[in-house]
Amino acid sequence: MNHILTGKQFADTKLREKLFKKAQKFEKLDVQKKIPKILSGKILATVFYEPSTRTRLSFESAALRLGAGVISVEDARASSSDAKGESLEDTIRMVNCYADLIVLRHPEAGTAERAAKVSSVPIINGGDGPNEHPTQALYDVYTVWKRFGRLSGLHLAMGFDPKHSRTIKSFCRLMLAYKNNKITFVRPLGLELDHELIKERENPKVPYKVTRDINQGLEADVFYTNRLQQERFKNSKEFERLRHEYCVTPALLKGKKVLIMNPLPRVDEISPEVDKLKNAIYFEQAKNGLYIRAALLLYALGML
């Protein structure tokens, strides 16, 4: 079995190519309604201690398309024995009795690794607090690859909350591994990315800059936007002060070729009018998640 805990796992070019090819195959088969039920008899458990729409539903949809059954715990802090004081480790041991693999989302960093240490079935990190969201990162990279046919030689902008956004961190970790990329972080003062992440990058020659100017992000090939992470702010007044500082609008995009990505949900950072523009690819991005996660289920079970 293969746990999926960090985006670093997908820096392996051969593994990435296998996953991308399998995702492409699933996408073609899905159009024909011919995805084979190769996970028949398997059961996926989605255990979510935080709210989710895309991650939970795309994993469950992928499992069902592949013939697996699904059991789910939504709002696990209130609806599971966590409310009675059960430890995460004991919860994982119990779910092991009922499922063949587990997708776990939790508000605390490092919980996926904790779960993996006691689990006899694969653990897939569906987001652990402000830390990482590796499966999101993989389909974000897949989206870039489908659009450009490459993952190097690109200018990537990322905003607007690098400090708290696990999706920005995971996407950044993967894209820093490829040659001749440059990265621009767009953020308000005080929401800088942890520079330890930059220091750990595999390719030390990737240039990056930090700016408050949204227009510099719009000069990139891809502008990976994300909402300010309200649930991560310790001070609600600080969140309210910053939440409207940035918004991508049709006026800002006029004459621009930049592709706008977003892991969703979109809150204040993209005007709904942008949805009609060719620059907007965030719903395409979300659909790509279904096929990448189908491939990842096979990988986790050692069936890729």
Which amino acids are annotated catalytic? Answer: 54-55, 84, 105, 133
- Kind plus residue range of the DSSP H or E element containing 200: none
Q: How far apart are CA 179 and CA 269, in angstroms?
A: 29
Contacts of 164 (CB under 8 A, 6+ apart): 130, 191, 228, 229, 232, 233
Instruction: Answer yes or no: are the C-beta atoms of 54 and 283 closer than 8 Å.
Output: no
> In whole angstroms, how far apart are CA 215 and each of 186, 243, 247?
9, 18, 11
Cis before 272? omega within 30: no
**Taking each helix axis from N to C terminus, what angle separates 134-148 and 13-31, rounded to the nearest 10 degrees?**
80
Backbone angles phi, psi at 127, to 5 degrees: 120, 115
| HEC readout, 48-117 | ECCCCCHHHHHHHHHHHHCCCEEEEECCHHHHCHHHHCCCHHHHHHHHHCCCCEEEEEECCCCHHHHHHH
Tokens of 185: 């972080």
Which residue is listed with tokens 């204040």? Answer: 268
Q: How far apart are CA 181 and CA 208, in angstroms?
A: 9
> In whole angstroms, how far apart are CA 125 and each of 19, 23, 197, 242, 244?
17, 19, 19, 29, 31
